[in-house]
């Protein structure tokens, strides 16, 4: 993993952990529902930010290598991988 992206991803994951613990406390303490929903949505945004970092690392390392390969099978595998990710993010459950 690229060192700077790894550092950012670890920091982001620690922040998400703290947010999630706060969410659990809010639920346990029966905090106002809108406040719980706001915290939950903030966690979702933080997860999206983490996913973006991981995707950036993947594109800059594994995908760059695979797509730059002279092996058509390796290129196809990389494209199929991204298509599955696209499907997971955009199509499932709809």
C-alpha distances (whole Å) from 10 to each of 43, 72, 86, 88 are: 15, 34, 24, 24
Q: What is the pLDDT of residues 54-84, one digit of tens each?
A: 999 999 999 999 999 999 999 999 999 999 9
Report pTM.
0.85
- What angle do helix axes 33-58 and 3-28 make, rounded to 10 degrees? 160
In angstroms, the CA 66 to CA 80 distance is 12
Q: pLDDT by residue (tens digit) across 2-54?
A: 999 999 999 999 999 999 999 999 999 999 999 999 999 999 999 999 999 99
pLDDT at 94 over 70: no
Between the alpha carbon of residue 3 and those of residues 40, 42, 64, the distances in Å are: 29, 26, 17
Domains of the chain: 3-90 (1.20.58.1000)
pLDDT reported for residue 58: 97
In this structure, how many other beta carbons lie within 10 angstroms of the beta carbon of residue 7? 12
């Amino acid at each position: 993993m690229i060192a700077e992206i790894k550092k950012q991803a670890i920091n982001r994951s620690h922040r998400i952990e703290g947010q999630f613990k706060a969410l659990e406390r809010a639920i346990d303490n029966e905090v106002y529902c809108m406040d719980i929903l706001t915290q939950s949505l903030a966690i979702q945004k933080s997860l999206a930010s983490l996913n973006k970092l991981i995707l950036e690392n993947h594109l800059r390392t594994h995908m760059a290598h695979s797509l730059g390969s002279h092996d058509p099978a390796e290129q196809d595998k990389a494209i199929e991988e991204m298509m599955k990710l696209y499907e997971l993010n955009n199509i499932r459950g709809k």
